[in-house]
Amino acid sequence: MQKLINQENSFFQSSNIDSSCCKIDPKQRAWIEVNSKAISKNARKIKEFIGEECLLMAVVKADGYGHGLVTVANAALEGGADNLGVATLQEGIDLRQAGLDCKILLLGNLISKQDLNECINWDLTPTLSGIREAIICQNLAKNRGSEYRMKVHLKVDTGMARLGCDLQDAPFIVEKIDRFNNVELDGVYSHLALADEVFEDDFGNFTELQRERFELLIQQLSSRKKKISFHLANSAGTLINTGLHYDMVRIGLALYGHSPYKESLLPMKLEPALSVKARVTLIRDVLSGVGVGYGHNFITKRETRLAVVAIGYADGVSRALSGKIYASIDGKLFPQVGAITMDQLVLDITDKSDIKVGSVVTLLGRDNEVCITPNQWSSLTGSIPWEILCGFKHRLPRLVI
């Protein structure tokens, strides 16, 4: 037995093995294509819409909504974005390590001295939701010298009941921060709760209420001599009401080419930046009455040609989409049938005879005149397009085109 093991080890360690044989084609199975030029174009259109006086923050959290953190950040800045927004400390550090030197705001709460100290080390701007973290920042910043100023943003809750200090506490916290020698309040912001749930004949009473609360806060802080950057609008708020723009807007979903509500409400045409593709790995012809996949949720009603496609719910194609979606091959749509499994799904391709093993299937994105959007998928599962985009796993290679 030991002799056999030694022989195996000798084989794998042999210099006769060509290292190039270990390189796998990223399009061998399933992959994501990211159009960085589309992201730049979308950023440019949004920047033109909001005007030069309003700053554009590109929100690149969650690995750039699944598109690739650094790819999206560079493309957005090239398109005119002024700064970047991330959710986690590591995302901010990753951008700095990639060589980006613009302002980066951490949108999540940091609660430890160690994490807030890393913001200083990496020149990242933390979000504060209370006086506790402000005091920690002051203590950390004064250790860097009397002249050092640590920039922070204060988040205020105007109706989200998530992050942010209570609205009535905000003036006190601002006053307290202003007394610190080593902390500079660079921005005050809030977040809209219902801006994406808009009806064409009614902008939304609650969004208007949030705007009024934010306006009141701005008035309460108007006597300050130091300038603050005020920001409230996400993609939905930015595109539906210019009165929500203030000094800066935070753009996420629209940057990636998707609407947070009905396309007819968009003031511009956005270009989707992501496509999800996979290959046909097997074609089989079956008779009428054959059950397909786990549970036999689909039974053929005629002689049927099936294409097995190498992508499944472990890649981010939710099992809840089983039997509900269509995929495109050469610009023609084919229904997905049976249960979507961990690594594979099946299409009914009976009506097209020239599909072959190795043919490329487009599940999301544009294929000739066909365009399949995350909004379409989310409407079928009770989800949202944000979740669809962020759900694609990293075993799908991201290819920048």
**Calpha distance 124→69 (Å, rounded):** 16
Contact between residue 34 and residue 399 where contact means Cβ atoms under 8 Å apart? yes
Burial class (CB in 10 A: 0-12, 13-18, 19+), 154: buried
> Quick one: how far is CA 219 from the chain centroid?
34
In CATH, which superfamily holds the domain spanning 36-259? Alanine racemase (3.20.20.10)
Give per-residue pLDDT as tens, 162-211. 999 999 999 999 999 999 999 999 999 999 999 988 654 355 689 999 99
C-alpha to C-alpha distance for 140 and 142, rounded to whole angstroms: 6
Torsion angle in degrees (nearest 10) through CA of 87, 266, 233, 38? 40
Please tell me if the domain spanning 36-259 has the same topology as the one spanning 274-400. no
Q: Give pLDDT, residue 124.
A: 98
Q: How far is CA 239 from CA 189, 204, 267, in A?
A: 18, 14, 7
At the topology level, CATH places domain 274-400 in Lyase, Ornithine Decarboxylase; Chain A, domain 1 (2.40.37)
Percent of the chain at pLDDT above 90? 87
C-beta separation of 106 from 120 below 8 A: no
Spans of the chain below 50 pLDDT: 11-12, 200-201
Residue 359 CB contacts under 8 Å (≥ 6 apart), including other chains: 279, 280, 307, 329, 330
In this prediction, residue 198 carries a pLDDT of 65
Boundaries of every domain in the chain: 36-259, 274-400
Distance CA 60, CA 253 (A): 10
Catalytic residues: 61, 294
DSSP H or E segment with residue 65: helix 61-65
